[in-house]
Amino acid sequence: MSKNKNNNSKNPSPIITTNRQANHDFFIDEQYQAGLVLSGWEVKSIRAGRVHLKESYVTIKDGELFIFGMHITPLNCASTHDYHDPIRTRKLLLQRREINRLIGKVERAGFTLIPLNLHFCKGRIKAQIALAKGKKLYDKRKDIAERDWKRDNERLIKSLTR
């Protein structure tokens, strides 16, 4: 439940799923690790890799953080007498001072909260969330142009060194 500016740990935790669209659509400012309130069938499905973060986002309601739009597909062997809602709202667990800091930045500075990935940390499922600002269309084009330029340079260097 701490702020991760850079993740230089010796034993990186295994990542379950990532939100690849996040780096394309947002400028990432700060990252936080948060716990999730999950039920049993959700944990089993996540361990099986049946989770998607593509259209999910984090919102603040009554001083608490919730993740919306995270899709967890129930396993086929799940109980048939219970209704399993794959897109239900799930609560995120952070310390109060971190939540207050996030609330202040979201309300005053124009940031938004997005989930970046789900990973294991000491056997528990954690969510990596980030304070981010949205990119404009010209920012996205600039990133694509830079990536193409780097790729072309690497190809040129590789062909010259042969």
Closest CA to 26 of 102, 133, 111, 109: 133
Mean pLDDT of the residues in the chain: 84
Dihedral angle, C-alpha 19, 107, 86, 94, nearest 10 °: 80
Which pLDDT band, with edges at 50, 70 and 90, does 105 fall under?
confident
User: Tokens 């399993």 belong to which residue?
Assistant: 84
The alpha helices in 14-162, defined as continuous H runs, are 21-25, 40-47, 96-108, 137-161
Residue 155: predicted pLDDT: 92
pLDDT of 122-161, one tens digit each?
A: 889 999 999 988 877 777 888 889 889 999 999 999 888 8
